[in-house]
C-alpha cells in the first residue's frame, strides 16, 4: 500500500560537517554510488539549490560587503531553505527520488546557534517554519579536528568565503555544536571520522548508507 497522499516517499539524506571535512567530495561519490545502484538521485546543497537560494548563498558567503548581523544571516538562510524545500526537495521526494543534500538544518544549529550564539530554541522554531518540519531520515556528520579542516580548506584552491575566515575559536564552537546535535539524535546523525583517508571515508559512507537503505521501505530502481 502506498503512503498517504502528499507525504514524501523518497529518502532524504544530508551531509554535514565543518570546513574542510570532505563532505562535498563524499556527497558526489555517494550520489554516483546510489545512481549505480539504480536509484533516482537528486544531488543538491545549502544554502542554495534554486536560483533565488543560490543568489542568497552568494550574499551570505561574500567577503566584500557590509557586516552581516547573526540574525540577518539566519533569516537569509531560512529564506533560502524555504525556496529549496518547496521548489526542489519536496517535489523530488514526492516523486520517490533519493535526495542527497550537502548541508541542511543541522548546519544552522551548529553555525548560527552554537557558533554565533543565537538562541537554539528560536532557531528550531524558525527552522520548523522554513522547512514545514521536513527533516532528513539520515545525516552523515563528517568530523575532523578544526585545525586539520581549516588547514585543508585554507591550503586548497578554493577561495575563502566569509565563514571560512571566521576564527578557529568560532569553528571549534561549531564542531562542538555538531557533536551536541549528534548526541541528541544518535539514530539520525551518524558521526564519521573524516580525518581518515578519502578512500576509507568513502567506504565507510557506502557501507553505512547501503545498510541503512535496506531498512527504508522505498523504491529500489529508477522510475520507468
Ligand atoms: P560550504 O557549502 O562550502 O560548506 O559553505 C557553506 C557555508 O555556509 C559554510 O561555511 C557553512 C555556512 N552555513 C551556515 O552558516 N548555516 C547554514 O545553515 C548552512 C546551510 C550553511
What CATH number should be reported for the domain holding residue 28? 3.40.50.300
Is residue 189 over pLDDT 80?
A: yes
In this prediction, residue 224 carries a pLDDT of 41
- Residue 154: inside a domain: yes
The mean pLDDT of 106-118, rounded to a whole number, is 98
Q: Give Cβ neighbours of residue 194 (< 8 Å, ≥ 6 apart).
A: 17, 21, 22, 23, 142, 143, 144, 201
Give, as one character, the DSSP assignment of residue 143: E
Domain assignment of residue 42, given as a range: 11-213
Phi–psi pair at 133, nearest 5 degrees: 70, 20
222 CA → ligand 1 middle, Å: 31
Map grid coordinates 550520489 to a residue: 31
Residue of 76, 163, 171 to mutate, ligand 1, most atoms within 8 A of C-beta: 163
SS3 (DSSP) at 2: coil
- Residue 140: inside a domain: yes
- Residue 27: inside a domain: yes
- Residue 222: inside a domain: no
- Count of structural domains within the chain: 1
- Residue 224: inside a domain: no
Q: Nearest to residue 18, comparing CAs of 120, 205, 153?
A: 153
8 A C-beta contact, residue 1 and residue 127: no
Residue 90 to residue 164: CA distance in whole angstroms: 30
What's the chain's average pLDDT?
A: 92
In this prediction, residue 158 carries a pLDDT of 67
1 confidence band (pLDDT: 50, 70, 90): very low
- Residue 90: inside a domain: yes
The mean pLDDT of 54-73, rounded to a whole number, is 94
In this prediction, residue 164 carries a pLDDT of 83
SS3 (DSSP) at 69: coil
In this prediction, residue 4 carries a pLDDT of 47
Share of the chain above pLDDT 70, in %: 92
218 CA → ligand 1 middle, Å: 30
- Residue 219: inside a domain: no
Nearest-atom index, ligand 1, CA of 23: 4
Is residue 142 over pLDDT 80?
A: yes
46 CA → ligand 1 middle, Å: 7
Nearest-atom index, ligand 1, CA of 45: 2
Residue 39 has a CB neighbour count (10 Å cut-off) of: 21
Q: Which of 105-114, 145-154, 207-216 has the highest mean pLDDT?
A: 105-114
SS3 (DSSP) at 12: strand
Bigger pLDDT: 6 vs 86: 86
65 confidence band (pLDDT: 50, 70, 90): confident
153 confidence band (pLDDT: 50, 70, 90): confident
Is residue 130 over pLDDT 60?
A: yes
SS3 (DSSP) at 222: coil
143 DSSP β-pair partners: 193
Give, as one character, the DSSP assignment of residue 159: P
- Residue 48: inside a domain: yes
Lowest-pLDDT choice from 153-167, 180-194, 196-210: 153-167
Amino acid at each position: 500500500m502506498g503512503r498517504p497522499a502528499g507525504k514524501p516517499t523518497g529518502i532524504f539524506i544530508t551531509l554535514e560537517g565543518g570546513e574542510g571535512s570532505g563532505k562535498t567530495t563524499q556527497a558526489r561519490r555517494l550520489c554516483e554510488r546510489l545512481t549505480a545502484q539504480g536509484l533516482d538521485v537528486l544531488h543538491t546543497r545549502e544554502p542554495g539549490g534554486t536560483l533565488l537560494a543560490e543568489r542568497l548563498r552568494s550574499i551570505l558567503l561574500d567577503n566584500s560587503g557590509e557586516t552581516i548581523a547573526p540574525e540577518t544571516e539566519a533569516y537569509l538562510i531560512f529564506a533560502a531553505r524555504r525556496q529549496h524545500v518547496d521548489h526542489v526537495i519536496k517535489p523530488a521526494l514526492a516523486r520517490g527520488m533519493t535526495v542527497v543534500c550537502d548541508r541542511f538544518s543541522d548546519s544552522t544549529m551548529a553555525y548560527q546557534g552554537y557558533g554565533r550564539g543565537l538562541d537554539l530554541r528560536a532557531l528550531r522554531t524558525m527552522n520548523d517554519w522554513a522547512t514545514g518540519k521536513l527533516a532528513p531520515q539520515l545525516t552523515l556528520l563528517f568530523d575532523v579536528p578544526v585545525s586539520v579542516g581549516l588547514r585543508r580548506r585554507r591550503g586548497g584552491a578554493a577561495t575563502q568565503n566569509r565563514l571560512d575566515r571566521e576564527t578557529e575559536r568560532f569553528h571549534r564552537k561549531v564542531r562542538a555544536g555538531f557533536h551536541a546535535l549528534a548526541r541528541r539524535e544518535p539514530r539520525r546523525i551518524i558521526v564519521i571520522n573524516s580525518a581518515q583517508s578519502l578512500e576509507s571515508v568513502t567506504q565507510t559512507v557506502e557501507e553505512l548508507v547501503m545498510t541503512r537503505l535496506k531498512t527504508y521501505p522505498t523504491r529500489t530502481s529508477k522510475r520507468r
